[in-house]
Structure 1
Amino acid sequence: MTSAACFSQTYAQARQKFLSACADLGLPVESHRHPLPGAEAEELAVDVARSGPLDAEHVVLISSGCHGVEGFCGSAVQIALLRDEVFQRQASDARCAVVYLHAANPYGFSWLRRWTHENVDLNRNFRDFSQARTHNDDYKALHAVMIPKRWPATLGNRLHLLSHLVKFGRRRLQKAVSGGQHSHPEGLFYTGVSPTWSNSAVRKIVRQHASHCKHLVWIDIHTGLGPKGHGERIYSGPGNSPMLERARRWWGEGVRSSQEGQSVSVPLSGLMVYGALDECSPAAFTALTLEFGTLPGTQVLDALRAEQWLHNNPGTGEHQRQQIKQQLRDAFYVDEPQWKDDVLRQGREVALQAINGLSVAL
């Protein structure tokens, strides 16, 4: 298939393409329906399809849409793999089950938000909420600057933000903003104070499809960080874990560890993939975040700031609302043929390497 045939322009279109690709392979789809409607009044759901034996010892889980609007990319990779006869054959020959988790955050995908309907960053929400939480004091100091009272941001606001960059340095500022915070529910990268709807749905799916396997590989697809069109392979677990050695053996020495400061991402907690550590503890687990670059980081951050301001100001005029939503979409989905080709090529390579890695002794 051409890349254009795999990518979509809306959540509703992406879901239909995914369901059609599953139907063509004769794969049943489980739909975990979201309680709210989509932007086009469509049904929202986390859709799951599985190819391969139900008793497979090895499972590869490929997820899209953890960050809503980033789902255009991950959905296209999933659809391309479902249509890829070589990939399907190699997975079958290896007796490896492949689970396609489509649109982990369908609300954000449809409404062009990075966050869930609870305004929570799903990829910071997989944590033990019974434990005391670490305060992000740097975000507290930044919040009023990040989400000003008016938009577009004034020159004074931008100079204030620049002063924080000079004071903190780029890496500390990135950690302060994107590391997750629980003090401002109306702010950016909010962790939430309890599991979100999507958190519960994803955990149920993982328990059902991977709690009895011997090895689980989870490839979670994201966009928004790094050079345009480059898919960085990010390992986010502890530096001394066998998982890191396995990841580099399978996907190459180019695998970056955020914990060791090598990645475009800062070290994070509450990641979605680590829900598997709770739900599938007997299995050997290997997780990889595949992060595709889009626009320069300052533009991506500006889009997030604008969209959060819009969410906090629902009375904004329709023209400005559409402008801000398009800005956010463009920050996480590059609607250009070359970018799409690069995404599908690298997504396929990573998926095949996972199958090949599982076909040899662990």
Structure 2
Amino acid sequence: MNPSSYFAPSYLNARQLYLRCAANLAAHVESHVIPAQRGLEGEELATDVVRLGPKTARRLLVLTSGTHGVEGFCGSAAQIALLHDRPLHALLEKLDVAILVVHAINPYGFSHLSRTNEDNVDLNRNSIDFSQPLPVNPAYGDLHALLVPAEWPPSAENAAAIAAYIAERGEPAYQRALTIGQYQHADGMFFGGARTVWSTRLLQTLLEKYGAACESIGWIDFHTGLGPYGHGEKICVGQLGADELQRARAWWGADVTSPLDGTSVAANVAGPVLDTLRRTCTHARTTAIAIEYGTVPLVDMLHRLRADAWVRQHPDADAQYLSTIRADIRAGFYCEDDVWRGLILGQARAAILQAVMGLSREPAC
């Protein structure tokens, strides 16, 4: 099939395609619908789950898409391609490895073309212990009023102030100030929440259910927005277990990066979703990465996320204007280019195969 056939133009179409592929496999689909929420097209919003591989397998690979909503086009396509991949299904049986395909863990953001969920929470900042004092990010606090202005597009003065900050401190400092997460501005960017949200609780439930009998669990979480165009950087982030980074590099190659040793394009964020696995399945050896596919330059990408935050605060703005802004946000995280789409699928299949082979070498009991 042409690579473009695995990509859908909206969450609604992606979900329909995913469910159709699962039906063709006669696979059981477990659907979890967000209560009291609807999509941009008025559709039901759900996270759908399919398990592939031997029923008794005790080595499991988890694949998640749409952690950051609008980034879901990429991960959804990788998952749909996997559902079509009969040779890989046969390999699972041979190697006694299972795959849990979790489609659209943040269906609200996927449908509404937003990074965050129905509560404006960034799921990749929400996997923390909320009974403890929340992290403080004073650098974000210094920028908040500039980042989410009252008008969009921002004024010339606002743009100049942002440019001056970057010129004085550099893009890495600007990126870090925004992206490590913050817990004080609920209307702002990269907000980690005040409590564990629906999607994070669902991930915990799924991992408890499907990971309880597993000794070894791998995870690939698909993202877009950072790095060179079409390149999938494999990032090991969060509260890594003993030897996890070493094991990740053994599975996926020496080019696996991590903010812990300064090799990653991403900052070491607070509460990444991958920590949900590490905190939930303490009985298992866990090996988790995010794959981050490049789209547009860093400052451009962050500018579109600023627009996302503005849209959240102005739901009653002119509908056509909001649609135009959302289309621009979408274009920052999904490139409608067959070369880019082919790069996504090729690297995704390689990473899935590497993880399956890595798991097959792990003890099953």
Q: Which category describes the TM-score, using the shorter chain as reference length? A: over 0.9
Give yes or no for the alignment of 1:147 onto 2:157. Answer: no
Contact 1:259/1:267, CA 8 A, preserved across alignment: yes
What's the counterpart of residue 7 of structure 1? 7
What's the counterpart of residue 69 of structure 1? 70
The root-mean-square deviation of aligned C-alpha atoms, in Å, is 1.3
What's the counterpart of residue 32 of structure 2? 32
Quote the Cα distance in structure 2 between the aligned partners of 1:203 and 1:286.
16
Quote the Cα distance in structure 2 between the aligned partners of 1:229 and 1:312.
31
Q: 1:361 to 1:110 in 2, by over 3 A?
A: closer
SS of corresponding position for 1:128: coil
Alignment of 1:132-211 (within 5 A): 132-211=133-212
Q: CA deviation at 1:361?
A: 4.4
Alignment of 1:78-93 (within 5 A): 78-93=79-94
Deviations 1:235-259 (A, max 9, x none): 1145783111111111111111122
Gaps in structure 2 of 5+ consecutive residues: none
Contact 1:216/1:283, CA 8 A, preserved across alignment: yes
Quote the Cα distance in structure 1 between the aligned partners of 2:241 and 2:176.
22
Contact 1:211/1:279, CA 8 A, preserved across alignment: no
TM superposition score normalised by structure 2: 0.97
Letter in structure 1 aligned against 2:258? S
Give yes or no for the alignment of 1:287 onto 2:306. Answer: no
Letter in structure 1 aligned against 2:3? S
What's the counterpart of residue 213 of structure 1? 214
Contact 1:122/1:272, CA 8 A, preserved across alignment: yes
TM superposition score normalised by structure 1: 0.97
Quote the Cα distance in structure 1 between the aligned partners of 2:238 and 2:11.
31
Deviations 1:51-96 (A, max 9, x none): 1233311000000000001111000000001101221111121110
Give yes or no for the alignment of 1:246 onto 2:247. Answer: yes
SS of corresponding position for 1:62: strand
Identity of aligned residues (%): 40
What's the counterpart of residue 229 of structure 1? 230
Contact 2:229/2:340, CA 8 A, preserved across alignment: yes
Quote the Cα distance in structure 2 between the aligned partners of 1:9 and 1:59.
30
SS of corresponding position for 1:190: coil
Alignment of 1:101-116 (within 5 A): 101-116=102-117
Q: CA deviation at 1:318?
A: 2.0
Q: CA deviation at 1:322?
A: 1.3
SS of corresponding position for 2:260: coil
Quote the Cα distance in structure 1 between the aligned partners of 2:102 and 2:310.
30
- Equivalenced residue count is 362
Deviations 1:337-358 (A, max 9, x none): 1111000000000000011112
Quote the Cα distance in structure 2 between the aligned partners of 1:191 and 1:237.
14
